[in-house]
């Protein structure tokens, strides 16, 4: 993602891209007006990948998530419309077989400016929407091909175990907020955090966890002599770089 977009998210400012203006909602707005679960549901069309569908290889190669799935499904269309209204404040949206047409008010003219979301720029829109909402692309682990029945059974049991472990270790939003408040060298009030967007919250969480992890490694290094744990790409300045 363009570092300019990340800078705007860090500043909690609107993002201009492809003629659209994306307004990151604050946590206060999400909790009191939009609804956190509702926002996550609206972000589903932007997070879909081909992994989400059981497709033959020859179909998956040519399938377009945007054109063949999103623009043909009334539920996804409704989610896209609502997301554009909440995040971009766009209310005049029309869906065709291969494009989303947005009639954006133009201050200098009586006629609205027409903006287009299509196959070429949809992924850019997805990246911004996911950053704003703290979501990511859905990737589903699938078994290797040509496994015997016994091998497939073993793989499925291992996969179920990994999935249970992943779910158990995924922090809930309330835990992320709690760590951001109390988990560092200084306290951040809930009143302050409620003005943040979700990207800012997740960035704070990542930084605080990264610093704690680095300091733990720093304390152990004289005992273990494992200098690599605190140097080069694992040095704290690299761990805390803002990434996509």
Q: How confident is the model at residue 57 (pLDDT cuts 50, 70, 90)?
A: confident
Greater pLDDT, 169 or 36: 36
Mean pLDDT (the chain) is: 87
Q: What is the DSSP string of 58-88?
A: HHHHH--IIIIIGGG-HHHHHHHHHHHHHHH
pLDDT at 239 over 80: no
The pLDDT score that the predictor gives to residue 56 is: 80
Give the number of other Cβ atoms within 10 Å of residue 187's Cβ.
Answer: 10
The pLDDT score that the predictor gives to residue 218 is: 53
Model confidence pLDDT, tens digit, residues 28-46: 999 999 999 999 999 999 9
For residue 95, what are the β-bridge partners?
100
pLDDT at 183 over 90: no
State which H helix or E strand residue 156 sits in.
helix 149-169
Give the E-state strand segments of 15-134 in sequence order: 15-17, 20-22, 93-95, 100-104, 113-117
The pLDDT score that the predictor gives to residue 215 is: 56
**pTM metric for this prediction:** 0.83
pLDDT at 100 over 60: yes
Is residue 19 within 8 A of residue 113, CB to CB? The reply is: yes
Q: How confident is the model at residue 126 (pLDDT cuts 50, 70, 90)?
A: very high
- The span from the CA of 165 to the CA of 161, in Å, is 6
Model confidence pLDDT, tens digit, residues 212-238: 665 555 554 555 556 566 556 665 556
Kindly state the average pLDDT of the residues 92-111: 87
């Amino acid at each position: 993602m363009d570092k300019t977009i990340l800078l705007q998210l860090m500043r909690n400012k609107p993002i201009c891209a492809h003629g659209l203006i994306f307004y990151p909602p604050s946590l206060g707005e999400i909790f009191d007006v939009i609804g956190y679960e509702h926002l996550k549901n609206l972000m589903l069309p932007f997070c879909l990948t081909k992994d989400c569908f059981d497709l033959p290889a020859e179909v998956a190669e040519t399938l377009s998530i945007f054109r063949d799935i999103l623009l043909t499904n009334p539920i996804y269309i409704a989610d896209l419309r609502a997301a554009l209204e909440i995040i971009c404040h766009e209310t005049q949206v029309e869906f065709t077989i291969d494009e989303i047409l947005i009639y954006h008010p133009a201050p200098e003219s009586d006629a609205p400016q027409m903006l287009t979301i299509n196959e070429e720029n949809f992924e850019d829109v997805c990246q911004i929407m996911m950053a704003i909402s703290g979501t990511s692309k859905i990737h589903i682990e699938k078994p290797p091909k040509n496994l015997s029945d016994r091998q497939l059974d073993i793989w499925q049991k291992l996969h179920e175990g990994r999935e249970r472990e992943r779910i158990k270790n995924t922090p809930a939003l309330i835990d992320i907020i709690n760590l951001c408040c109390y988990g560092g060298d200084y306290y951040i009030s809930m009143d302050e955090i409620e003005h943040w967007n979700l990207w800012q919250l997740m960035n704070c969480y990542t930084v605080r966890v990264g610093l704690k992890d680095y300091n733990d490694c720093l304390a152990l290094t004289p005992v273990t002599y494992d200098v690599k744990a605190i140097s080069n790409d694992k040095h704290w300045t690299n761990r805390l770089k803002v990434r996509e």
